[in-house]
Amino acid sequence: MAFYKFSDNDLFVNHIKTNPSCKFDMYDSKTYYNNKSEMVGAFVSNVPGIPTGHISLHEINVDRNSTDTGLVFPFLQRDSSLTTFKTISTSDYYSTDYGSSINAVSGAEYPLSASITREFFDDNHFSTMKTNNETTVDTERTDHGGELALSDPPLTGDGLPNYKIDDDFTYAPTGLAGSSSLDRYIRLKGLLSSSHVNTLASTINHYSNMSPHFKYSASFGSGHQRDLDTVPVNLISIPSIFYGSNLERGTISLKYYLTGTLIGEIKDENKNGELIQVGPEGSTGSGSVAGIALYSQGFVLLTGSWDLQTTGPSSDAQLDYKNTGTAVTSSWLYFAAGTNDGIPADGDSLGTRYSASYSMHFSGTNEVPVITMFAHAAKGHLNYSNNPTYLTHSTAESDYNAITSSISYLEPDLATTNIVSSSFSNPTASFAKETYISRIGLYDENRNLIGVTTVAKPVKKTEDREFTFKMKLDI
């Protein structure tokens, strides 16, 4: 077997830019990704084991359930590295024997999946959230005699904050005699993060040079007065697994349907992040900016509150978009209602959301690092094959020849098969070494085989021929 080393001019690393296209269709609190519907399997209603409209991050637990087949779950082996899951307490870790498996908590089974998410923030949502947070903290202080004190140890066996339970309780949740550590943790956990819209303030302002619509809070007299902490905002989050490094400019398209009729379409046709209403032609709000797109972060913020039902067969209809029993007029604030936002599928009640459907299309930008390798088959090289048919078997003789009174072993004379084609049917042409290259192996520095590439059709190699094979590998 011949080994050849790549030279500096035989290896090149570059990036291939791709633009994967994504389409989401939303209807009645269900999401469909690239027109894929449910596939019924032997054990589950959907073979990938995830809801429609999602991507499985690992494609584990395909057509498996917890009852019949069991689910694959993450686990670690107890060793001296002190590596464990964050849900496993220190005491539980040290009580586990070496070599034993440490399983994640129940509910952490695969598959893990991702999909787009919608969040609606109503009028004055930031100040309301601030007030609610202050109320919750005050309640906790009162519940603990004026202080949020922790016991010793400060964490419970489950890893939760171990709040003191011997304080003078003045507040107790409904149905409970007192607040447990878990009750208090759940109440306070939501206070650790502020409004998802407000956390994007710096990012939005960073792009204000692209358009005045990227001003988070604007009060100048150019028609763009608004404060995203006070106005209603429809926030759509797109995980990066769908688009790669960033959303491709000029490809975002959102369509709003009512009873199958298009009542609104917005696009980023200026490629500057402004989502402009482009359809239907002549409709209310046509040409107006209905929101902005953060290409690198994968967020779409919709603020267009004008009535999209002023024309058409459903101009007088109002739907219960908020799931509060109160119907409101369709606008971009309610685009994609029910898309992983906690709003359930609708029924046949007044103001049903059955008649509304939505479509979202965009392309991503994904750069794939690629290594290009050139393997050379020079003249006079690679002229022997290990294939058994390369030798003429009829020339093989006995491996033992008598020499005087002893028996010795001699290598048999084996001739190479002559496969050179001739112009005549019976005699063969003059002998010449010919081989056929069918595959190329890639080895590391220790000559361990790490990859094999196969050509579509074996290439005939003669001693006066030379070839260069070009191989590409995504890394």
Work out the average pLDDT over 370-386: 90
- Strands (E) in 101-173, as ranges, are 101-103, 113-114, 117-121, 150-155, 161-163
pLDDT of residue 170: 44
- Give the CB-side neighbour count of residue 367, counting CA atoms within 13 A: 6
Residue 222 CB neighbour total at 10 angstroms: 8
Residues 149 and 259 in one domain: no
For position 342, what pLDDT does the model report?
A: 87
d(Cα 282, Cα 287) in Å, to the nearest integer? Answer: 9
| CA contacts within 13 A on the Cβ side of 109 | 12
pLDDT at 71: 85
Amino acid symbol at 420: V
pLDDT at 178: 52
pLDDT at 215 over 50: yes
Angstrom distance (rounded) from CA 375 to CA 150: 67
Q: Are residues 145 and 285 in the same domain?
A: no
Assess whether pLDDT exceeds 70 at residue 260.
Answer: yes
pLDDT of res. 396: 47
Of 157, 192, 227, which residue sits at a domain end? 192
Same-domain check for residues 344 and 390 = no
Q: Count Cβ neighbours within 10 Å for each residue of 393-428 and write b for 16 or more, e otherwise.
A: eeeeeeeeeeeeeeeeeeeeeeebbebeeeeeeeee
Task: Specify whether 172 is located in the same domain as 216.
Answer: no
CA proximity to 10, closest of 474, 475, 473, 470: 470
75-83, long-range: CB < 8 A, 24+ apart = 75/101, 75/102, 75/103, 75/104, 76/101, 76/102, 77/101, 77/102, 78/102
Question: Is the model more confident about 105 or about 430?
Answer: 430
Mean predicted confidence (pLDDT) in 42-59: 88
Q: Is residue 315 part of a domain?
A: yes
Q: How confident is the model at residue 226 (pLDDT cuts 50, 70, 90)?
A: confident
Domain containing 418: what range?
Answer: 369-474
pLDDT at 129: 77
pLDDT for position 176: 43
What pLDDT score does 388 carry?
A: 76
257: in domain: yes
Q: What percent of the chain has pLDDT over 70?
A: 77
Q: What is the pLDDT of residues 135-175, one digit of tens each?
A: 766 666 666 555 555 667 766 665 666 666 554 444 454 44
Residues 204 and 297 in one domain: yes
Q: Does residue 471 register a pLDDT over 90?
A: yes
**Domain assignment present for 45:** no
254 with 318, same domain: the answer is yes
pLDDT digits (tens, 9 = 90+) for 175-208: 444 555 556 655 565 564 557 898 899 999 999 9
Whether 293 contacts 275, CB under 8 Å: yes
Same domain, residue pair 338 and 406 = no
Instruction: Say whether both 290 and 170 belong to one domain.
Output: no
Residue 78 lies in a domain: no
Query: pLDDT per residue over 68-124, tens digit each?
Result: 888 888 888 888 888 888 878 788 888 888 888 888 766 667 878 899 999 999 988
Please indicate, yes or no, if residue 81 is contained in any of the structural domains.
Answer: no
317 and 223 housed in the same domain: yes
Q: In this structure, are 318 and 173 located in the same domain?
A: no
Helix H segments across 8-112?
90-94
Please check the confidence at residue 399 and state whether its pLDDT lies above 60: no
Confidence of residue 49 (pLDDT cuts 50, 70, 90): confident
Sequence-separated contacts (24+) of 262-270 with Cβ below 8 Å = 263/308, 263/309, 263/312, 263/314, 263/330, 264/290, 264/308, 264/330, 264/332, 266/290, 266/291, 266/304, 266/332, 268/293
Instruction: Say if 38 falls within a structural domain.
Output: no
The whole-angstrom separation of Cα 216 and Cα 206 is 10
Looking at residue 421, its pLDDT comes to: 76
Domain count, the chain: 3
| Predicted local distance difference test score (pLDDT) of residue 133 | 72
Residues 248 and 344 in one domain: yes
pTM: 0.71
Residue 163, pLDDT score: 61
pLDDT at res. 376 = 94
Rounded mean pLDDT, 368-384? 92
Answer whether 381's CB lies under 8 Å from 467's CB: no
Q: Residue 233 domain-assigned?
A: yes
The residue out of 316, 346, 368 marking a domain boundary is 368
By CB atoms closer than 10 A (0-12, 13-18, 19+), residue 237 is: middle
State residue 183's pLDDT score: 60
Per-residue DSSP letters for 30-56? EEEETT------SSSSSTTSS-TT-EE
Domain boundary among 324, 350, 368: 368
Q: Is residue 342 part of a domain?
A: yes
Q: Are residues 226 and 273 in the same domain?
A: yes
Q: What is the pLDDT of residues 440-467, one digit of tens each?
A: 999 999 999 999 999 999 999 999 999 9
